[in-house]
Every structure is written in C-alpha cells, then in structure tokens.
C-alpha cells in the first residue's frame, strides 16, 4: 500500500457520497473519512518499517510533468492531520441539517483529497493543481451553506477567493521560471538547480505572497475573520484546522528550501512579520464581541507564532512549528465546535447574550475549559510542546523575538479566560442550555484525548518528522 490509496479513497468517497443521496450522505462521508484515516495508519506503519510508500509516474511529456508523490515523515504527518480531522469534522456535523447534503459532504471529502495531494506532491505543477483544487470546495461550502445574509456572505467569500487565487498566480509564475532553468518540475531537480541570489529573492517573494495569504499573515489577513464568521462551522474547521497548514507546510517544503539564500538573508524580517501577527491578533481578539471572530483572531495570533518559528531556519524552530501546526489543528477544531454547540442552543454568537452555562451543563463546561487551557498552552497539553519549542528557537535567534512572541501566551490567557468567564459563568441566559449529546461529547472527548496524549508523549511525532526536517535544513545550509 502506498499513498495513492489515501487519495483514491477520498476521491472515490466524494463521488460515492454525492450519489448516495441526502439521507445517507453524512454516513457515507464518515465511512470514507474513517477509511482514509485507517489507510494513513497502514501507510505510516509501512513507512516506519522502511518500505517506500511514495509514488512516481510520468504524466505529461511536454512540458515534462510527473505524478510524483513524496512520502517522507513531514508529508505523512500532515496527511495524518488531514485524515484524522476529516472524520471528526464530518461526525461533528451530524446534528446539523444541510440542504442538498450529498453535495455538501462530497465537497468536504473532495477538499480533503486536494489537501492531501498538496502535502504529498513532489512535482511543482502537480502541487499547484492540488493547491488550487482545494480552493474550489471551500468556496462553495462557504457560499452556499454559510451564515448571515447572502450579500455579506458573497462579499466575504469572493474576496477570499480572489485574494488566494491572485497570490497563487505569483507562485505559478515562479514555478514556470524555475522550470525554464531546470527543465523539470520535480522538487529534487529544483533543489539541485543553480540560480542567482537576486533571482532567489524574487522567487522567495512570489512564494511569500501565496503562502502569507493562505496562512494568513498580516497584512494579508483581511479576508480571514469574515470568512471564518460567515462559513458554516464545518467550513471554518476545515479552513482553520487543515487548510491554513498548507501554507505553513509549503513555507518549509518549497519557499525556504528553493530560495535558501533569501531565507537566510532576510529571516529576521519574516520572523518579525510572524511576531507582529501574534501581537496584532491577540490585541484584536481582546475587542471581539462575536465568539467566532474572537476565535478567528486567536487563530491568527497562533499561526503568526508558527510562521515565526518556521523562518528561524533552525531544527528547533521547524520542529516546533510542525508540532504546533498539529496541536493548533486539533484545538482550534475543538473550540469552533464548542462555539457551534452553543449556537445550536442559543442561536447567537454574541458573547454578551451568553452566560450561566456552567450551572446547566457542567460536562460541557469542563470540556470547554480544557480546550481553552490547551489553547493557551497549559503544560501537559500538545500546544505547550509546540509553543515552548518555537519560543526556544526564537530565543536562539533573538531574545526580543521570544519576549514579543511570548505575548501569545500572556494575552491569549487573558482574552480566552475572559471569554470563558463571560460565556460559561455569570448570570444564566433566559434560554435553557441542554447538556451535550452523545455525539457532541464523543467529538470533544476524542479531541481532548489527542491533546493530552501527545502533550505527554510527543516522541512518535518528533521521531517521524525530525529526519525530514534535518534534510531540509541541510538543503538550506549547503554550500554549493
């Protein structure tokens, strides 16, 4: 079994879900989501015992394009993040009713297919195709099943689509330039080609535009909060839990590896951009009155820290960034799902209209509190491992980066605990808040279990990703 099995399961699953009808769509989607996760575990086991689970096949002769999938530890852990979160996200939506459910769930699986392809692609044009394919399903998910009035939703979603598409075009131009020099789109061939320092700078900036919009980093973040707010919760979880990781992963795999001289020369500038995102996201989150928007700006702060760690170009920085990508994926999905549970009962996302939930739903309150504490990197949770490692790498680069980056913990603790107090404590809302159902509770328990397990025992992940990261660092630091 190789990685093509995972892609086929997700693609076939999307088709089968569409033809299953509205009544069975969610169950069929969940079945294929779980199947893709099981297939990922089998592929990982094969990889760990030394089997080659990559795939290569010639595809187009002119230009020379290959269907090349690279399955190293870094790519596989991102695939695992995708295929583990997909069934959780699908299962979390079982108590929602969607018009034309077969199309909705088919788009969710197709988006998973495109994101897995993006993480695995080792040919630049194939990577670009998967990158763009992932944009199509989330566009329709947010547009057709989103929240709020139709005009404001369209405006937010179209802005997101145009922003990301425009940034991607710069990346495509960079790939075309590299192909003309190397005569190949294969990643290994691009790694080994020789280009001038000035040419690398333009390539670095072209990649930065594409990735900074997708992550997003300030000042390219203006689409994020509105889209997170207007998208249905499933769409928000896909965006925040998985899709933004495509940009962070691509910084490591493509940007800093292919434009290594520029990455080294200007690393302090791009670390500063990431740290600025931490401060900006935290300050703006303090002022939010809408629960979803608060979580959106909290996510902006956390991914700013991840990006800062990535641009340190150190083993600790890259490894900590990957760990934090995984931790952030689970905790942000858990937090947005908790917000959805509250919305199902109160039919509002305004924090001022909430309160007193603890006295009516102590189980939900406890689980929500754990997610809040994990978000602010409580020791013993997965987020602590990633944030501590990233902050240590920033300290090695410059102590001020570490001090400013650490504000994500201080400010994050303030606005998250203040939010918890206003939402869960205080006076009871006039509406009755029912305790979590079995489906809701199981979803939260799975997420919390992952956060605690890898918070206490991250070794399997660090062992898997470290060799790949060391190879990338060697590529960046090579002398020729």
For 215-233, the pLDDT digits (tens) are 888 888 888 888 888 889 9
Res 349: pLDDT: 87
Q: Can you tell me which residue has the tokens 């018009």? A: 99
Mean pLDDT of 177-197: 89
Of 158-167, 327-336, 411-420, the range with the highest mean pLDDT is 327-336
In this predicted model, what pLDDT tens digit does every residue of 108-155 receive, in sequence order?
999 999 999 999 999 999 999 999 999 999 999 999 998 877 788 888
Q: Over the stretch 414-468, which tens digit does the pLDDT of each residue have?
A: 999 999 998 988 776 667 889 999 999 999 999 999 999 999 999 999 999 999 9
pLDDT at 109: 97
Q: What is the mean pLDDT of residues 257-271?
A: 91
Residues in the chain: 480
| 41 touches 101 (CB < 8 A) | no
Whole-number average pLDDT of the chain: 91
- Give residue 479's pLDDT: 56
Residue 95 is encoded by which pair of tokens? Answer: 């108590």
What are the tens digits of pLDDT across the range 63-103?
889 999 999 999 999 999 999 999 999 999 998 888 999 99
pLDDT exceeds cutoff 90 at 236: yes
> How many whole angstroms separate alpha carbon 431 and alpha carbon 99?
27
Above pLDDT 90, what percent of the chain? 66
Query: What is the number of other CB atoms lying within 10 angstroms of the CB of residue 357?
Result: 24
Q: To which residue do tokens 């299962």 refer? A: 91
What pLDDT, on the 0 to 100 scale, is given for residue 430? 67
pLDDT at residue 473 greater than cutoff 80: yes
How confident is residue 364, by pLDDT bands cut at 50, 70 and 90? Answer: very high
Domain boundaries, the chain: 266-480
Q: Over pLDDT 70: what percentage of the chain?
A: 99
Say which residue the tokens 């939703």 belong to: 153
Q: Which two tokens stand for residue 44?
A: 């990982």
Confidence of residue 182 (pLDDT cuts 50, 70, 90): confident
Reply yes or no: is the peptide bond before residue 63 cis, omega within 30 of 0: yes
> C-alpha distances in angstroms, 374 versus 88, 382, 406, 443, 455?
18, 7, 15, 16, 9
Q: Which long-range CB contacts under 8 A does 470-477 form with residues at least 24 apart?
A: 470/315, 471/72, 472/74, 472/252, 472/253, 472/256, 472/257, 472/318, 473/313, 473/314, 473/315, 473/318, 475/191, 475/257, 475/260, 476/256, 476/257, 476/260, 476/263, 476/264, 476/313, 477/260
Average pLDDT over residues 325-330: 95
Give yes or no for residue 326 having a pLDDT over 90. Answer: yes
Range 29-36 average pLDDT:
97
Residue 109 C-alpha from the chain's centroid: 16
C-alpha atoms less than 13 angstroms from C-alpha of 294 in its C-beta half-sphere:
26
pLDDT at res. 316: 93
Query: Are the CB atoms for 416 and 372 separated by under 8 Å?
Result: yes
């Amino acid at each position: 079994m190789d990685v093509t099995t995972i892609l086929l399961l997700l693609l076939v699953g999307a088709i089968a879900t569409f033809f299953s009808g509205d009544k069975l769509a969610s169950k069929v989607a969940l079945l294929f989501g779980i199947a893709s996760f099981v297939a990922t575990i089998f592929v990982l086991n094969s990889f760990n015992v030394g089997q080659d689970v990559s795939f290569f096949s010639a595809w187009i002769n002119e230009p020379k394009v290959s269907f090349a999938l690279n399955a190293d530890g870094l790519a596989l852990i991102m695939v695992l993040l995708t295929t583990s979160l997909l069934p959780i996200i699908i299962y979390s939506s079982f108590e929602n009713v969607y018009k034309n459910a077969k199309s909705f769930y088919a788009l969710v699986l197709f988006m998973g297919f495109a994101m897995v392809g993006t993480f695995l692609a080792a040919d630049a044009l194939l990577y670009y195709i998967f990158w763009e394919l992932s944009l199509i399903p989330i566009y329709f998910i947010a547009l057709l099943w989103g929240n709020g009035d139709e005009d404001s939703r369209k405006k937010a979603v179209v802005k997101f689509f145009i922003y990301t598409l425009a940034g991607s075009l710069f990346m495509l131009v960079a790939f075309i330039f590299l192909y003309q020099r190397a005569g190949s789109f294969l990643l290994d061939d691009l790694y080994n080609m020789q280009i001038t320092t000035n040419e690398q700078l333009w390539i670095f900036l072209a990649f930065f535009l594409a990735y900074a919009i997708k992550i997003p980093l300030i000042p390219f973040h203006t689409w994020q909060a509105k889209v997170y707010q207007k998208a249905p919760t499933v769409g928000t979880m896909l965006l925040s839990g998985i899709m933004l990781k495509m940009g962070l992963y691509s910084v490591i795999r493509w940007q800093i590896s292919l434009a290594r001289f520029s990455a080294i020369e200007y690393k302090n500038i791009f670390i500063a951009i990431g740290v600025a995102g931490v401060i900006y996201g935290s300050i703006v989150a303090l002022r939010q009155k809408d629960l979803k928007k608060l979580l959106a700006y909290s996510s902006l702060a956390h991914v700013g820290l991840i990006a800062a760690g990535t641009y340190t170009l150190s083993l600790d920085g890259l490894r900590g960034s990957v760990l934090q990508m995984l931790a952030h994926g689970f905790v942000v999905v858990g937090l947005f799902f908790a917000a959805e549970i509250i919305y199902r009962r109160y039919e509002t996302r305004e924090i001022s209209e909430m309160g007193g939930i603890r006295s009516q739903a102590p189980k939900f309150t406890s689980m929500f509190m754990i997610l809040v504490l994990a978000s602010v990197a409580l020791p013993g949770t997965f987020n602590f491992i990633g944030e501590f490692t990233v902050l240590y790498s920033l300290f090695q680069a410059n102590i001020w980066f570490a001090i400013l980056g650490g504000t994500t913990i201080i400010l994050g603790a303030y606005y998250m605990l203040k939010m918890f107090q206003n939402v869960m404590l205080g006076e009871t809302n006039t509406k009755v808040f029912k305790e979590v159902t079995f489906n809701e509770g199981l979803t939260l328990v799975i997420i919390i279990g992952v956060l605690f397990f890898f918070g206490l025992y991250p070794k399997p992940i660090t062992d898997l990703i470290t060799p790949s990261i060391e190879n990338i660092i060697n590529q960046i630091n090579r002398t020729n």
